[in-house]
Structure 1
Amino acid sequence: MTKITASAIFFLLLFSRFLGDGVSLEMEVPDTVQAGTEFPVFITLNKSNIEGFARFSQDLPYGLSAAAEPGLPGEFLYEDNKVKVIWLSLPPEEKIQLKYKISVVEYVKGSFTLEGKFAYIENNERKILEIPPRKIYIRPSPGVDPSKITDIQEYGQLIARQEIPAQQTPAKAEPEKEPTLSASSSVSRVENVYHGNAMCLRQHPEKGSDNGISGYRVNLLIHKGTMDKYAKIEEYIPEGYTAMALETQTGLFTFEDGVAKFMYLKLPEKSDFIISYLLVPVNAPTGKEPVIDGAISYVIKDKTYTSKIIECSEDLASLDREGINRLLATVNKKTVPAEITRTPSVLTTQKGKTGSGSSYAARTYSAEKKKYPYLRRHLESYESYLLEPEEGVYFRIQIAAGHTPINVKTYFRKMHITENIRIEKHEGWYKYSVGSFKDYKSARDYRVKIWNNTLAKDAFITAYHNGKRITVQEALMITNQPWVK
């Protein structure tokens, strides 16, 4: 795929949007592009004095894909036709500039719109700044038979009907995401005991309000026990409700895809603390109280545990030290139900499937040999490349992914990659990665080496915990490592 440069053929347009708090977002893109090429996108964020967690996102239509340019500030992800740049903590500079490239397949033509959103937290309130949509025209590729060219809008519809594959190339980098949790998620077994005398209790939701917004107040009591610095609380909110933070105790609160999440890089010093959120009905059924499931993930001596949050009827905010001790002692004597109706993301390997490592992958390949006889010669060789699980947290470099298997030796030899390649089947993708690193900086340096010496220009870092994929952000939190540009 060839690059295009600015010329008289098209011109760059500048779009911006401002909020009253001084935060602004600008996007610079070409007005016209040619199929079979790639074009640059420049995003300029003037963040004013905001800090902490933030995220930029941009949806792309089918037929387009994105890759970061080296040196992009923040963690760049491209998944499910969505560009994401995530910051656990925004850089101190007031102006942040993002540059990435968007590739256009050679079989499309027509117009599409490009926009973007910047989400951030200010005064415990989630705010969103949007870039107005802008139409970009794709000129047909002169080297492609016109009868094989499809309008980009129809191209997406054909993929949705599975009349053409989602990707024209045999393998494409497809970044890792934190698995989403939906009402259809399979039941997962979570530990029915707490470790290190740690515990999380939920007070039964009670009707309340905040700043004129009515809903159900939910209090959570966290008893640290011997927890180390990192902890994550996930509350799985029933359909028809949204959630807003009331008390975070210095934690980061987010609500997305039906999950209210509190994350701590460093837990408060107190042995017990209370956090809370407001459950706000949006389209909830009347006459029924909300039922909430939840789990807490925490670290003790470099090992991560996930346990169910226990609901009680006590007024947690009114308890003194003696009352908390009495409640904890009472709960410890009871059996905690082991099943929750949604899966904590830290434990997820594949939606609806259990198992990890080479044994699960081998079963998957065996089944696909029968389903796709014409792929058998590739699948048989795959078993020698299967990714084996390792202990603890570690990082790898993903170099490609595809929905169908390829000849590993031939394909990656053409990309000038001679490293020890390993394969895993994850969320419907064959994913190819190299290297294994305990510290993020070493992984970052190796990724740069891949960028500089091979054709895998969109290689990126993935993270694992005991053989299971997790987000890079979560891996950094668990290991207390800094993010390195």
Structure 2
Amino acid sequence: MQPLVLSGLINHGVVEEHNLPAELAIGERAMATWSLETGSSGGFARFQVQFPPGIIAESLENAGASFTFENGRSKFIWIETAPDQTINLKMKLTATKDFHGGIITQWFSYISDGTRQDVEFEPHHVSVKNQSEPQANEPEVNTEFSIARTWFSEGPNLGRVTLSISGHEPGQFLKIEETIGTQCSAEPLEDSGASLRDVYDQSILYVWQQAPSSAFELQYRVMGQSEDCWASIVGQASTVIDGAVQEIQIAALETPSENPDPENPGSDELVQLLRSPLPSKTTDSNGTSTGAPIRFKVQVLASHQRVNATFFAQEYQFTRPLVIEEHEEWIKYITGSFDAYKSARDARVEIRESHDLPGPFVTAYSGNRRITVQEALLISKQNWIP
């Protein structure tokens, strides 16, 4: 994060509204509509919608655009649009058996002074709708969330960790984070399709927006100057089961005994199954952990070029303090910092109603690291507010 840098760009006040569903049942079809205000942009334009796996989109109204749908992404392309035009679009969405919920992202692109400009809209979460209760003759499913950690020595100061995860609810948010000692390092080996995999400081993090459909395993390798790197490993996991947050800790492994069977390296493994709840954490009145503070902010604009403070005041009558985040090729403009999601949401509503900014939305952070709003709500035990 850094102070706002002065330079120039115009985003022409593109505004979007939609009625995307909050949930879909397997096999369900739903109609979704979009209304795009092009502002003063005009000319070539493209609107894209990226759906999570398992959703098929068909165009019903395209406002004269060409339409394609490939790899879960819908594209509407116009060779020419008029300034101050309202574009109305409609699609039919079908949830297949591969749909497990997820995030829908949307953005609008246009040409200004020979340069492509991209306006990123607020992401939309869609979940799987429960269609019916299980039949009486169906076997009862064990939903006790548990993780077994296995350590296998691969040599001096080197070992492989396997985490076996079971009892989670498929399609729900799941986060697993392991922490190792300061003299040790880790490298991921198997992530089972995690949405996010990150190694930072002394931690290795896995996040799934939609947890796998059955029990699965993770693997990572631990290396270091210390012979007892295995002893430094601690971790925790959190997920949602039947609408409630469940957390477990993954405690440090006990001291390994000498391998009683040198011909069978598998007997040198250490297994520990942990179902105990996380130790209590210091929290504020909103239930937010003070160990790694959760903050909510509002993103008001994202582009590929910098803009100056005068631009925001002149174009949008927006004079709140701003900071810049740079991610890949995007420059994102952020305002505010709140403990409670509701406060950030109220700020977003006020900004949207008072300024003609292109789709401000709430963002979330764990310390200085940006995370999903869903993850932040889960960690801080706060409720989502539409």
**Bucket of the pairwise TM-score, normalised by the shorter protein:** 0.3 to 0.5
Greater helix percent: which structure? Answer: 1
TM-score normalised by length of structure 2? 0.38
- Whose RCO is larger (CA < 8 A, sep 6+)? 2
Bigger strand fraction: 2
